[in-house]
Amino acid sequence: MTIETIVLREIRMRLKAPFETSFGVTQDRRILLVEVVVDGVSGWGEVTTVESPSYNSETTDTAWHIISDFIVPRLIGRNLNAAADAAALLSAIRGHQMAKAGVENAIWDAESQLKNIPLSKLLGGTLKEISCGVSLGIREDPQALVRKVEEELQSGYQRIKLKIKPGKDLEFVAAVRKEFPNIRLSVDANSAYELKDTNHLKELDQFNLLMMEQPLQWDDIHSHAKLQSQIRTAICLDECINNAAHAAAAIEMGACRIINIKLGRVGGHSSARQIHDFCQQHAFPVWCGGMLEAGVGRAHNIAMSTLPNFTLPGDVSASKRYWNEDIIEPEVEVSSRGTIKVPTTPGLGYAVKRKLVDQLTVRTRDWKAEMVAQG
């Protein structure tokens, strides 16, 4: 497989509604798309950075820089046996998993098209349908949140996740739990608490939560182990787990009981699969996290979620929850049972709407193998 062309685009897309987490409010997204032409076939990837370094250390602009100046020179014109080989070629670049994932995943899409099989198959996926949950941003008051939860349950979603932060937690969770005593409910703090808040976090034990996602520092596995030993609710690590070694450390230390896998955060499909396999061997359930993706990122999440140890509903939900018009066709749709049917056509199984992407594009850069060869 020869990497013939790489095209990097930045698109702007406005979410239907602002999304508030403990680290801020997002509505106007700046998303990088990567198109890689391999043996004449176009594969697509999406970089899942947010705009500021507030979820992890990457941003849309750091990803543009790292892809342009470090990733492309290592890949353009190269001949790979498989997309899985890309990670080794990029291993000298420290960190920047989201930048790497956007490119690696585009090569996975191309490889599955070249082999004429769905990407889910190429990854080793077995599920025909995946289970979906939703992640709800912080709301003004508990009643507004209860109304939103009701709406999502009516759409069929199987699990509701509430974003929390200090001052917007117990009262909100209590109101939702009171109204819906039996639903699968979880919370996500995005690193908003500290170990000294342990007694406060213990209060959440009374709500029978499926999990509490990333309560403490984004890069601190050890403190999560101390917290997990003192609370009943299962901790799920998100921000802390960037590779399989982190997953191993977290499991060995007892820092969590569940791991959320995000393709971008862990550096792409090959790393995600390693984490998945490791967790499966240790009987730790995983689920697929989301980063407010446009259709390309969403389609990659669906393919990954077909691996057999994705046993909990993911944050992979319908295109129409986020966008007036998504950049793929068909758009991602969720059944009334809260599931997404996995595409059975080759590649991602969703076509990129090139015209729409062109309209949304604010900058673009491309590299061709011949140009590089001729200097």
Q: Which of 163, 168, 196, 320 is catalytic?
A: 163
**The only residue of 111, 213, 293, 326 in contact with Mg ion, by rule CB under 5 A:** 213
Tokens of 157: 């979603």
Residue number with CB closer to ligand OSB (55 or 207): 55
CA dihedral 310, 312, 314, 317 (to 10 degrees): 110
Where does this chain bind ligand OSB (CB under 6 A)? 50, 55, 135, 188, 190, 238, 289-292, 315
Q: What are phi and psi of 282, to 5 degrees?
A: -100, 15
Specify whether the CB–CB gap between 293 and 50 falls below 8 A.
no
CA pseudo-torsion sign 351, 327, 294, 149 = negative
How far apart are CB 316 and ligand OSB at their closest, in Å?
Answer: 8
Residue number with CB closer to ligand OSB (111 or 238): 238
The rounded distance, in Å, linking the Cα atoms of 98 and 53 is 12
238 binds Mg ion (CB under 5 A): yes
Question: What DSSP designation does 230 have?
Answer: T
Tokens of 199: 């007694």
Q: Which of 100, 148, 165, 262 is catalytic?
A: 262
Residue number with CB closer to ligand OSB (215 or 290): 290
Which strand ranges, in their side-by-side order, compose the sheet holding 258-261?
134-136, 160-163, 185-188, 211-213, 235-237, 258-261, 286-288
Which partner from the list Mg ion, ligand OSB, none does 290 bind, CB cut-off 5 to 8 Å by kind?
A: ligand OSB
How far apart are CB 321 and ligand OSB at their closest, in Å?
Answer: 7
Tokens of 142: 């508990």
The rounded distance, in Å, linking the Cα atoms of 83 and 111 is 7
Residue number with CB closer to ligand OSB (113 or 190): 190
163 is catalytic: yes
Helices 295-304, 97-114: inter-axial angle, 10-degree rounding: 70
**The only residue of 188, 193, 246, 261 in contact with Mg ion, by rule CB under 5 A:** 188
Residues counted in the chain: 375
Residue sitting closest to ligand OSB (CB): 290
Which partner from the list Mg ion, ligand OSB, none does 55 bind, CB cut-off 5 to 8 Å by kind?
A: ligand OSB
20 binds Mg ion (CB under 5 A): no
128 is catalytic: no
Residue number with CB closer to ligand OSB (118 or 290): 290
Segment lying near Mg ion (by CB under 5 A), choices 19-27, 120-128, 191-199, 205-213: 205-213
Residues annotated as catalytic (active site), given as ranges? 163, 262
Chain residues binding Mg ion by CB under 5 A are 188, 213, 238
